[in-house]
Amino acid sequence: MAFTHTSPKKNEGVVATATTPSFFFVLRRVSAWSGLIPFFLFLILFLFIPAVSVFSQALHDADGSFGFSAMREAISGQNLDAFIFSLKFSAGSAFVGVIFGGLLAYAAATATRPHWLRNIVSSFSGVAANMGGLPLAFAFLSLLGRQGLGTKILNAFGWDLYAGDFKLGEVSGLITVYSYFNIPLMVLVTLPAIDGLKTSWREACANLGGSAWTYWRRVGLPILAPSLLGGFLLLFANSFSAYATARQLTDNSKIVPLRISFFLGGDISIGEDAVGYSLAAWMIILMAFSMAAYWLLRRRAERWSNS
Amino acid sequence: MKQSRSQRALGRLLPTLVLIASAIFFAFPLLAMARFAFQNLQVIDLGWNNLFEKWSISSVTASFSDDFFAEAFTLSLKLAVGTALFTLGLLIPTAVWVHLRLPKARVFVEFLTILPYVIPAIALVAGIVVVKPHARWFLNSDYSLIPFYVVLALPFTYRSIDTGLRAIDLKVLVEASRSLGSTWIATLFRVVIPNLRAAIISSTFLTVAVVLGEYTISDVLLKRTFPSFMAQYRQSDPRGGYALAILALLGTTLLFVAIGVLSKSRSTRPQQVSRSQENEILV
A95 inside domain: yes
Q: What percent of chain A has pLDDT over 70?
A: 90
Q: Closest CB to B123: pick one of A54, A56, A108.
A: A54
Q: Do A134 and B230 touch (CB under 8 A)?
A: yes
- For the question of an ipTM over 0.95, the answer is no
Q: Which of B11, B30, B56 is the last residue of a domain?
A: B56
Residue A74: per-residue pLDDT: 82
Q: What pLDDT does residue A15 have?
A: 47
pLDDT by residue (tens digit) across A150-189?
888 888 887 777 777 778 888 888 999 999 999 999 999 8
CB A118: neighbour CB atoms within 10 A?
17
Which chain B residues are within 8 Å of A280, Cβ to Cβ? 122-123, 126-127
CB distance A39–B94 less than 8 Å? yes
- Which residues in chain A have Cβ-Cβ distances shorter than 8 Å to B31? 149
- Look at residue A195 in the predicted model and tell me its pLDDT: 84
* A28 or A68: which leads in pLDDT: A68
Task: Tell me: pLDDT of B255 over 70.
Answer: yes
Nearest CA in chain B to A279: B123
Pair (B206, B139) in one structural domain: yes
Q: Is residue A179 a part of any domain in this protein?
A: yes
Name the percent of chain A lying above pLDDT 90. 32
pLDDT of A1 reads 34
- Which chain A residues are closer than 8 Å to B25 by Cβ? 179-180, 183
Q: State the total domains in chain B.
A: 2
Q: Give yes or no for residue A17 having a pLDDT over 80.
A: no
Q: Are A1 and B273 in contact (CB under 8 A)?
A: no
One domain, residues B126 and B20: no
Tell me the C-alpha distance between A300 and A292, whole Å.
13
8 Å CB contact of A130 and B219? no
Q: Is the pLDDT of residue A306 over 70?
A: no
Q: Which of B18, B227, B271 sits opposite A107 (nearest CB)?
A: B18
How many beta-carbon contacts under 8 Å exist across A and B? 259
Is A259 part of any domain? yes
Average pLDDT over chain B reads: 84
The share of chain B scoring above pLDDT 70, in percent, equals 85
Q: Report which of B126, B34, B119 is spatially closest to residue A48, judged by C-alpha positions.
A: B119
Which of B206, B208, B216 should one mutate to test binding to chain A, selecting the residue with the greatest count of A CBs within 10 A?
B216
The length of chain B, given as a count of residues: 283
Give the Cα separation of A102 and B205 in Å (integer): 28
Q: Which domain holds residue B66?
A: 57-280
User: Is A84 at the interface with chain B, CB within 8 A?
Assistant: no
Given a cut of 50, whether residue A112 has pLDDT beyond it is yes
Nearest to B32 among A117, A150, A257 (CB): A150
Whether the CB of A183 is below 8 Å from some CB of chain B: the reply is: yes
pLDDT tier at B5, thresholds 50, 70, 90 = low
Q: What is the pLDDT of residue A45?
A: 93
Provide the phi-psi class of B130: left if phi over 0, else alpha when psi is between -120 and 50, else beta.
alpha
Residue A184 lies in a domain: yes
- Mean pLDDT within A99-126: 85
Do residues B228 and B149 share a domain? yes
Q: What is the pLDDT of residues B48-105, one digit of tens each?
A: 667 667 777 777 787 788 888 899 999 999 999 999 999 999 999 999 999 988 888 8
| pLDDT reading at B270 higher than 80 | no
| B91 and B119 share one domain | yes
Residues B190 and B231 grouped into a single domain: yes
Is the per-residue pLDDT at A269 higher than 60?
no
The whole-number pLDDT of residue A2 equals 37
- Give domain status of residue A153, yes or no: yes
Domain count, chain A: 1
The neighbour count for residue B186, using CB atoms within 10 Å, is: 12
Q: Comparing A2-11, A79-88, A216-225, B134-143, which segment has the lowest mean pLDDT?
A: A2-11
Per-residue pLDDT at A118: 84
Q: Which of the four pLDDT bands, split at 50, 70 and 90, describes residue A21?
A: low
CA distance A89 to B128: 28
B107 and B204 in a single domain? The answer is yes
Q: Which residues of B touch A1 (CB under 8 A)?
A: 271
Distant-in-sequence, close-in-space partners of A305: CB < 8 Å, separation ≥ 6: A192, A193, A195, A196
pLDDT digits (tens, 9 = 90+) for B178-225: 899 888 889 988 999 999 988 899 899 889 989 998 999 999 998 999
What domain range includes position A234?
Answer: 38-305
Average pLDDT over chain A reads 83
Per-residue pLDDT tens over the stretch A116-153: 888 888 888 888 887 778 899 999 988 888 888 888 88
Residue in A49, A65, A76 with CA at minimum distance from that of residue A271? A65
Residue A129 is part of a domain; what is its CATH number?
1.10.3720.10
Is some CB atom of chain B closer than 8 A to the CB atom of A234? yes
Contact flag A152-B46 (C-beta cutoff 8 Å): yes
B44 shares a domain with B71: no
With H, G, I as helix, E, B as strand and everything else as coil, classify residue B55: strand
B89-103 pLDDT per residue, tens: 999 999 999 998 888
**CATH code, B216:** 1.10.3720.10
Each residue's pLDDT tens digit, A39-72 = 999 999 999 999 999 999 888 877 777 888 888 8
